[in-house]
Amino acid sequence: MDYEKLAVVMRELSLLAGDKIMEIYNSDDFEIKTKSDDSPVTAADEAADAIISQGLRRAFPDVILVTEEQSDSHALKGDTFLIVDPLDGTKEFIHRRGDFTVNIAYVEHGVPTRGVVYAPARNRMFFTLADGTSVEETGALAKDEIGALTPISVSNADNSALLVVASKSHRDQATDDYINKYAVKDMKSAGSSLKFCLIATGEADIYPRVGRTMEWDTAAGHAVLSGAGGKVVRFDDHTPLTYGKDIYANPFFIAYTPSVELKNA
């Protein structure tokens, strides 16, 4: 893989998709449909998916591409592939809460090694460089020119005063029960893959997810967090979360900075 090209292409496609998403987000109304799994989908999901998938297939025609919105791609198998959630946080989008992201990732041998997470309504862009380290881009976010980049890295956590981030739309008692095992200084809620990025920048220390997710929900955030020195492990046995699993479904997991003293489930 040409990692320089990959970083440029993923970043540009996320910005193009973000423009289309915001065009629909700022319109007076948009249609909401229901998929076979009862999850919502909008014209923004579908339009962003078309932009990203066409761009990735053109740039990397020989790489498997798995995308949430194309069910035929879910049958593709391999341990190295591109994986896309064109609009992560559709519920946040529908309720116009802003915490939605464009997620594009490259998985190698079951590990997400490169990724981009773009939150167009928040004007925040996180991605991995060719060497796998993670940065946040600030400024105009021009399509044809990468702007000012700030290297990001996870916090040195204070285990007597942890900063916890949890799902905004999927918080439940099981999550709270696990969080209560820790000494928590502050708790914040965030939607979509932004939770991974808040740990990657040191704005949070730990994100436990006791609930269903799919690999396209997590791969890009996982890559960004890994590139900032963080980890993502299974909730049950604390082994690394891997990709290319059956039907691309994740077990429960914990994303965290390695200085956190993890508690057992």
- Residue 209 sits in a domain whose CATH number is 3.40.190.80
Q: Is residue 263 part of a domain?
A: no
Would you state the pLDDT for residue 78?
A: 92
Q: Are 124 and 205 part of one and the same domain?
A: no
Q: Is residue 264 part of a domain?
A: no
**Look-up of token digits 């992560």:** 88
Q: Which of 128, 151, 174 is at the close of a domain?
A: 151
* Three-state DSSP state, 139: coil
Output the CA–CA distances (angstroms, integers) from residue 178 to 229, 231, 237, 264, in the order listed. Answer: 23, 18, 14, 9
Whether the Cβ atoms of residue 43 and residue 71 lie closer than 8 Å to each other = no
Which residues span the domain enclosing 43?
3-151
Side-chain half-sphere of 187: how many Cα atoms within 13 Å? 12
Whether the Cβ atoms of residue 170 and residue 213 lie closer than 8 Å to each other = no
Q: Are 31 and 135 part of one and the same domain?
A: yes
Q: Are 113 and 216 part of one and the same domain?
A: no
Q: Are 249 and 125 part of one and the same domain?
A: no
Q: Are 107 and 170 part of one and the same domain?
A: no
Q: Are 67 and 184 part of one and the same domain?
A: no
Q: Are 80 and 188 part of one and the same domain?
A: no
Q: Is residue 179 part of a domain?
A: yes
Instruction: Compute the distance between CA of residue 196 and CA of residue 198 in angstroms, rounded to an integer.
Output: 6
Q: Which residues pair with 151 in a beta bridge?
A: 135
- Return the CATH number at 65: 3.30.540.10
pTM for this one?
0.95
The pairing of beta strand 184-190 with beta strand 162-167? parallel
Q: Are 36 and 138 part of one and the same domain?
A: yes
Number of separate domains in the chain: 2
Instruction: Compute the distance between CA of residue 210 and CA of residue 212 in angstroms, rounded to an integer.
Output: 7
The pairing of beta strand 81-88 with beta strand 65-67? parallel
Would you state the pLDDT for residue 61?
A: 98
Q: Is residue 156 part of a domain?
A: no
Would you state the pLDDT for residue 63?
A: 98
Q: Is residue 139 part of a domain?
A: yes
Q: Are 116 and 246 part of one and the same domain?
A: no
Residue 71: partners with Cβ closer than 8 Å, 6 or more residues away: none
Q: Which residues of the chain have pLDDT under 50?
A: none
Q: Which of 101, 127, 151 is at the close of a domain?
A: 151
Among candidate residues 98, 109, 152, the one with its CA nearest the CA of residue 127 = 152
Would you state the pLDDT for residue 137?
A: 98
Q: Are 14 and 68 part of one and the same domain?
A: yes
